[in-house]
Each structure stands twice: as structure tokens, then as C-alpha cells.
Amino acid sequence: MNRRLLMTSLGVLALSRGGSGLLPSPAGATGSMIAAPTYVQQRNLSCEYASAVIAMAAYGAWVSEWAFDELVGWSANPHRGFRGNINGDWGNTNDYGVYAEPLAAALPVFGFAGEVHYARGDASVLTAHLDAGQPVIVWLGYWGDQGFYEYDDDATAYKLTPGYHVVVAYGYDDAGVHVSDPGLGVYSTWGWGDFMWMWNALEGMALAVFPA
């Protein structure tokens, strides 16, 4: 979701726009880097679609974020479609967003595939994909785990977490996780402790993106 000026970036990493493949890690550091671009989401709550644009653009393929609207569809359950008004205010759970599964289902239309994960504290889920040169879309709870559960008509439970945002992890090293943030169209870095705290708020939800 679009946090705009909610949170000052802890760091900014300048990489060139476009390109693909692994970039060399800094000397003496452990990690991987992928050449991913920046992109600014076009609507208040379109960070998931904008992140998919960034992830595919890391391979040189640019698509419109608007193309996801009909492909993903809408649902009160964000595991099944976009919840709420995509032009609504950020931070609440009425106008909310969409989770990894519907986004992954839309990727084949553009020639890509996605692998959905719930890492639940296992950072190796993220680093393994980055080591393989695959950008990873991650769902982060900026206010920590304030989640609660609602239920579908068929009694399926789903978790809603106020104050979440979606970015693309394109690298990591000893300093932390490097992301392309569509909320502001910038590169940012979070230390491992801060990143894991936010990521765990949504069970480590992630979507690795790669060509089909």
C-alpha cells in the first residue's frame, strides 16, 4: 500500500534503471544484487501491481499496472482478489489490497511465473531466490503485527493487517535487505532486524518472479 511520507527510508541505494541479472556484491560482503528499476505506483493502493511491474522490468519487460485490475479481480478475501477501493486511503482494512496468490495467477499472461511463500521467519526463503537472480515481492507490516482475522462465507479464515505496504526485494548483504519501493519510487535499505519484524507481521508473505 502507499505509505508516501509515513516512514523515512533508512537508506537509499542508487542503481541504474532497467537491466537484469546479478550485480556483484560489495567487496567483503555476503549477498546478491539484481538490477531492478524504480517505478512509482499510479494509485494510492496499487503497490502490489506496481511491485509486479518492477519485478518483471528487472528482466527487461515493462507492462502497465492497470492491466492487473481485471486479471486479479476483487474479493473481500485478499487471498482471492483485491479488497476494497484501489484509490482509497492507505492504512485501513476496508480499502486494503491483494495478497500473493491472485497476483501470481496473473503473471502467466505476461510470460512470467511466480512462486508464493510464507516464510514465517525463515530468511533463507528470500535469500535463495535473490541468489538465483529472481526479484521477490514482499508484504511488510509497517506498524508491526496488528493483524486480525475475518471469515469468508464458506468459513475460510483470512488475516488482515493494517498499515502494510508491498515492495520488491532486489538484493541483500550483511547490512540488510535492499528494496525498490513503488510508494515513493526509490531504492531503500532496511537492516535485517527491522525487515524481519515487518515481514513477519504478514507471515513472511512473498512472491518470487521469474520468466515462465
Residue 16 falls within a domain, yes or no?
no
pLDDT band at 102 (very low <50, low <70, confident <90, very high): very high
Residue 57 falls within a domain, yes or no?
yes
Residue 151, H or E segment:
strand 148-151
Residue-by-residue DSSP string for 12-29: -----SS--SEEPPPTT-
Give the mean pLDDT of 103-108.
99
Residue 26 falls within a domain, yes or no?
no
Q: What is the pLDDT of residues 142-195, one digit of tens each?
A: 999 999 999 998 999 999 999 999 999 999 999 999 999 999 999 999 999 999
Q: Is the pLDDT of residue 10 over 80?
A: no
Give the mean pLDDT of 69-97.
98
Residue 109 falls within a domain, yes or no?
yes
Residue 152 falls within a domain, yes or no?
yes
Give CA–CA dist 93/116, Å, rounded: 22
Q: What is the pLDDT of residues 107-125, one digit of tens each?
A: 999 999 999 999 999 999 9
Residue 115 falls within a domain, yes or no?
yes
Residue 8 falls within a domain, yes or no?
no
Q: What is the pTM of this model?
A: 0.88
Q: Is the pLDDT of residue 23 over 70?
A: no
In 3D space, the residue among 53, 91, 32 whose CA is nearest the CA of residue 185 turns out to be 53
As given in the structure block, the three cell numbers for residue 10 are 533508512
Q: Is the pLDDT of residue 49 over 80?
A: yes
| Whether 182 contacts 41, CB under 8 Å | yes
As given in the structure block, the three cell numbers for residue 154 are 464458506
In 3D space, the residue among 115, 108, 20 whose CA is nearest the CA of residue 68 turns out to be 108
CATH of the domain at 39: 3.90.70.10
Give the mean pLDDT of 2-17.
32
Give the mean pLDDT of 196-212.
98
Q: Is the pLDDT of residue 16 over 60?
A: no
Q: Is the pLDDT of residue 9 over 60?
A: no
Give the mean pLDDT of 56-62.
97
Residue 173 falls within a domain, yes or no?
yes
| Structural domains counted in the chain | 1
pLDDT band at 29 (very low <50, low <70, confident <90, very high): low
Q: Which residue range forms the structural domain that includes residue 109?
A: 32-211
pLDDT at 30: 84
